[in-house]
Amino acid sequence: MKVKAVLFDLGETLVRIWAPEIVFKRILDSLGVDRPVEEIREALARTDEQFNSPGYRSLYGKTPYQEYWGMWSSTVLKNLGIPGYERLAGEIVARWFEHADCQAYPDAEETLVKLRRMGLKTGLVSTGYEEDVYAILEKSGLQKELFDVIVGADTIGMVKPHPEAFNHALEKLRVKPEEALFIGDKTDDDYRGAEGVGITPILIRREAGGTSKASGLRTVTSLREIFQFI
């Protein structure tokens, strides 16, 4: 069946994302708090372990943006042993994108523009909150108008690989699963998730240096290669 829509993941697919320990370090420095990067990395790892537990994981996408990330930031600061962490948590959230590096890959904008000139619909399905998605697009220079639909974690309260994250985008675009492609960098969340609802998935491995036939997956190393599947 003819492809009518192409959906994308955001981080490490269209945009190169920051190292969180570096961003945290920059914000703490701006607040006059000195902590080594390695210490911050360890605190982040402990926080991620806590937030990957079922209780915390169930809150993601359902808890309001400021509340969720305030809770996360507060936990990191607590794990760092920084006094007044509840007060500082709000500063972490507010200053995050002042210090985060978000750089669009060179093939991102040209690919989106070419798809739209071909008359194809485009969409973005991200695990990030909508507010984060829009901030990343703005900072990376990718216009939100390049997408006909944007689905974030809080759009419907479901994240990839949950079928509804993909189905919501399809419904908004008014296309059938078999009429769409999905490009992402995660095997389970992106490739298997899209495949599970009937979308043709493509795994992007920018650092792989070539496709992996052994994987048995549709694989590209650049977005410029996706046109062979259209």
Domain ranges of the chain: 5-16+102-229, 20-99
Distance, in Å, from the CA atom of 22 to the CA atom of 32, rounded to the nearest integer, reads 15
> Considering the domain 5-16+102-229, what is its CATH architecture?
3-Layer(aba) Sandwich (3.40)
DSSP annotation of 23 reads H
Query: CA–CA distance from 15 to each of 80, 142, 228 (Å)?
Result: 29, 9, 22
Distance, in Å, from the CA atom of 229 to the CA atom of 218, rounded to the nearest integer, reads 9
| Residue showing tokens 């000195």 | 34
Distance, in Å, from the CA atom of 182 to the CA atom of 180, rounded to the nearest integer, reads 7
Quote the Cα angle for 63-197-173, to 5°. 75
According to DSSP, the β-strands at 5-8 and 15-16 are: unpaired
The answer to whether 211 touches 184, Cβ cutoff 8 Å, is: no
Amino acid at 85: Y
Confidence (pLDDT) at 84:
86
Confidence (pLDDT) at 214:
41
Distance, in Å, from the CA atom of 79 to the CA atom of 18, rounded to the nearest integer, reads 21
Residue 148, number of CB atoms within 10 A of its CB: 18
Q: What SS3 state is found at 143?
A: coil
For every one of its 230 residues, what pLDDT tens digit does the chain have, with 9 covering 90 and above? Answer: 799 999 999 999 999 998 999 999 999 999 999 999 999 999 999 999 999 998 898 999 999 999 999 999 999 999 999 988 888 999 999 999 999 999 999 999 999 999 999 999 999 999 999 999 999 999 999 999 999 999 999 999 999 999 999 999 999 999 999 999 999 999 999 999 999 999 999 999 987 655 454 478 999 999 999 999 99
pTM of this structure: 0.92
